[in-house]
Structure 1
């Protein structure tokens, strides 16, 4: 079953509950990962109504969820609440797992005015909504002097909206090096959302580490064979186009998603996260064979990537009360 799940087959929600009932921890983790990476597709399917409160809680606490934005997650949660009508404690716990600072203030106003879930459970999340409005109203540096910003509420998930990154389709990826650039917002705060950072991206299908680079003669002058192209590995490097990528009080976590097509749908097959201080995904496509046209990492001989940059704010100097 894990092999079918990796290939994009479903239903993942049913398999998750089966894994829990049988104690199959490996299958449970595989299902959780698949659901996290493909939450938009699952939330728009009939499977979503079968999600248990326990599974929902597991998903809502994850930062690797892939979806358009946090507002999409709120609407998916509201649809789940309308279908399942759980006890108030379950509903309020779920609503408190939404990361409201990641939602622009204009959309927060609309939610408060139109959301049936907030009309019913608004008092349970009033403090979180106030926190979000305060976050958007002040500059991040000023806000971080008075409030902690290292909680999960201020940590972006893997959002696909243009403000957070860009898709990149590389045709015939084994052929040669490619490059592109894209822009993201400086941060989700209302103070930073209008400011942009440009990112440069380099993809190399056969980068060779120093240990494998060609050496043509030994000390005695004997010719040595050059390394073969297949000895290299794919490489992806993302760098800011200017020093604007180094903003006070904020660092940037970079993630690249790799898509695969299954039954007409483009699903996330894998996600690679960059180390916070690195410009490169160290294990990027380490086991992929891009030379094969039928590689499971390719869709019609094209590599489908989505590049995501997540600004992460840091608490600086706390002002004594």
Structure 2
């Protein structure tokens, strides 16, 4: 016999009775009476309008109601369905006494499963990770809250997605986005990204990828670096907005990954060819060719790229640009934090007045220009723009004939403290050779001590100058590295 059904007909209500009807009526009655039950010890007057006439009082007992729902699930009172939860391998089993009404109200997936069941028991099979948090998941459906740890988020996210509990799924997505910093040290960000891909959570995927691009060093140092997928690794290697100390550091991290995972030759070749060997000093390239087990093993896969790198370091870049396409990714720097590319700039009480600093960078990454330096002047003005937002201007101290054929891409990185860690919060790129960025730190509230951009009253900036060469040949030669 089917469960009770309520429907309208001719302005009235038709009620079809069946199995579980009396229980559902009981639960509905309990929900109604609990919400209207007035007991001073459990709650009280929450709000009263200021006006005397037509004043409205609100009495709430949500904590008392939540406790009753917890007790209902804990003791299984008047349960009309048993959830038999098994691991996929069948090694573990747990039985939860539940209520059809509560599950159906929270999940349309559960509603369909319960309508199709042939007995009072509903069998569910879950992964070991989801199995371990299933009781928390069901408890949320009764009480609307749960206490969780970082290592439980993926399993709960999978369950909320699988059973269509959108409120919990959205809450977990928000929680993970807010805790990316603390999760990076333990490597959870990598797993969260993979979870977002598998579950189709676009918001979480974008946030995780952005965090990884800007804070990849913390992930490289975590125990989870070796478990990163080859697809995600390739995604990171192909990006020019990656923030890290140097290309050499990136190669060593890739080397660690390759030695641990030993992928097929095609995957290894593709990953190694995504390294920008021109951005590694020639003395380090020589050392890698002599000492790196990975390069010795896959030398033939990258021999042409190493040859192009040595050419780049030996010839004047403008001369090289006459014969090769230097606009491809092989010749485009990433956001390197090494001293030759820029400098950290700490500004105390940034809302107070204008600040200036001087930067010294190399003319370019080519060893041919290793002795040439460029001096830059940077000015920070807290309220210089008409909209009241701060302004930053970066200009070379002097011009030089060496600048011919070079566009200097200026990047300003803003770091903040999150969960006790200093992480990259924003990255501002100046358009080609312009002197400032139009949307720098908009709505940053630097005059407020509570601004998220202030770390103990200091604004943490890192200025990077990236020389980008212009191709001078009329017909561009296609490179194995794709144009960005």
Q: Normalising by structure 2, report the TM-score.
A: 0.60
Q: How does 1:54-203 map to 2 (within 5 A)?
A: 54-203=231-380
Q: Is 1:32 paired with 2:209? A: yes
> How far apart in 2 are the matches of 1:51 and 1:123?
25
Q: CA RMSD in A?
A: 1.8
In the alignment, which residue of structure 2 is the partner of 1:299? 455
Compare CA radii of gyration and give the structure with the larger one.
Answer: 2
Displacement of 1:265 in angstroms is 2.7
> How far apart in 1 are the matches of 2:235 and 2:422?
24
Displacement of 1:264 in angstroms is 3.9
Does the aligned pair in 1 maintain the 2:242–2:335 contact within 8 Å? yes
Superposed structure 1 runs of 4+ greater than 4 Å apart: 318-321
2:403 match: secondary structure: coil
Structure 1 residues 6-63: Cα deviation after superposition (integer angstroms, max 9, x where no partner): 5624221111001000111221111111000001111111121221011001110000
> How far apart in 2 are the matches of 1:253 and 1:70?
18
> How far apart in 1 are the matches of 2:420 and 2:260?
27
Worse overlay, 146-155 or 287-296: 287-296
In the alignment, which residue of structure 2 is the partner of 1:217? none
Structure 2 vs 1, CA of residues 3 and 115 (structure 1 numbering), >3 Å: closer, same or farther?
same
Counterpart among 312, 315, 319 of residue 471 in structure 2: 315
Structure 2 vs 1, CA of residues 148 and 67 (structure 1 numbering), >3 Å: closer, same or farther?
same
Does the aligned pair in 2 maintain the 1:146–1:319 contact within 8 Å? no
Does the aligned pair in 2 maintain the 1:144–1:318 contact within 8 Å? no
In the alignment, which residue of structure 2 is the partner of 1:5? 177
In the alignment, which residue of structure 2 is the partner of 1:226? none
Does the aligned pair in 2 maintain the 1:63–1:157 contact within 8 Å? yes
1:283 match: secondary structure: coil
Structure 2 vs 1, CA of residues 248 and 34 (structure 1 numbering), >3 Å: closer, same or farther?
same
- Please list every run of 5 or more consecutive structure 1 residues that lacks an aligned counterpart in the other structure: 210-230
Structure 2 vs 1, CA of residues 50 and 256 (structure 1 numbering), >3 Å: closer, same or farther?
same
Structure 2 vs 1, CA of residues 203 and 320 (structure 1 numbering), >3 Å: closer, same or farther?
closer
> How far apart in 2 are the matches of 1:82 and 1:42?
17
1:150 match: secondary structure: coil
Structure 1 residues 197-221: Cα deviation after superposition (integer angstroms, max 9, x where no partner): 0000000111132xxxxxxxxxxxx
Displacement of 1:92 in angstroms is 1.1
Displacement of 1:176 in angstroms is 0.8
Structure 2 vs 1, CA of residues 246 and 109 (structure 1 numbering), >3 Å: closer, same or farther?
closer
Does the aligned pair in 2 maintain the 1:147–1:318 contact within 8 Å? no
Does the aligned pair in 2 maintain the 1:6–1:269 contact within 8 Å? no
Does the aligned pair in 1 maintain the 2:414–2:427 contact within 8 Å? yes
> How far apart in 1 are the matches of 2:207 and 2:255?
26
> How far apart in 1 are the matches of 2:406 and 2:289?
29
Paired residues, number: 300
Displacement of 1:244 in angstroms is 2.9
In the alignment, which residue of structure 1 is the partner of 2:192? 15
> How far apart in 1 are the matches of 2:424 and 2:208?
13
> How far apart in 2 are the matches of 1:198 and 1:267?
27
> How far apart in 1 are the matches of 2:369 and 2:472?
17
Structure 2 vs 1, CA of residues 2 and 48 (structure 1 numbering), >3 Å: closer, same or farther?
farther
Worse overlay, 189-198 or 159-168: 189-198
Structure 2 vs 1, CA of residues 319 and 235 (structure 1 numbering), >3 Å: closer, same or farther?
closer
Displacement of 1:135 in angstroms is 0.7
Q: Normalising by structure 1, report the TM-score.
A: 0.90
Structure 2 vs 1, CA of residues 276 and 76 (structure 1 numbering), >3 Å: closer, same or farther?
same
1:46 match: secondary structure: coil
Does the aligned pair in 1 maintain the 2:385–2:391 contact within 8 Å? no
- Please list every run of 5 or more consecutive structure 2 residues that lacks an aligned counterpart in the other structure: 1-172, 478-484
Displacement of 1:320 in angstroms is 11
Q: Is 1:251 paired with 2:423? A: no
